[in-house]
Amino acid sequence: MYVVATLGVILLTYGVFLEAERKQDAVFIIASGCLLVYALWINSLIFSLAMAGLFVGSWIELIEILRGKHHHVCTIEGNK
């Protein structure tokens, strides 16, 4: 089970540095899935909820990207 947790930690860290959102979300889905399995195995409610939230959020964002519904809203204070 520690191999699954280690894989999750490595992938989660790797995902932070990815620029492409589609790839980042896919990596976050796998990483949070691994860490969710580990959290359930160690019976940690808060860790399980956090990983379940990341898992669901990453899935939703990936589906939005694939369907063309995902848009960024960017505002910069100096550029009004």
* 76 belongs to a structural domain: no
* 19 belongs to a structural domain: yes
Please count the structural domains in the chain. 1
The pLDDT of residue 43 is 97
* 75 belongs to a structural domain: no
**Structural domain span for residue 24:** 2-67
* 78 belongs to a structural domain: no
pLDDT tens digits along 8-52: 999 999 999 998 888 999 999 999 999 999 999 999 999 999 999
Answer whether 34's CB lies under 8 Å from 7's CB: yes
* 73 belongs to a structural domain: no
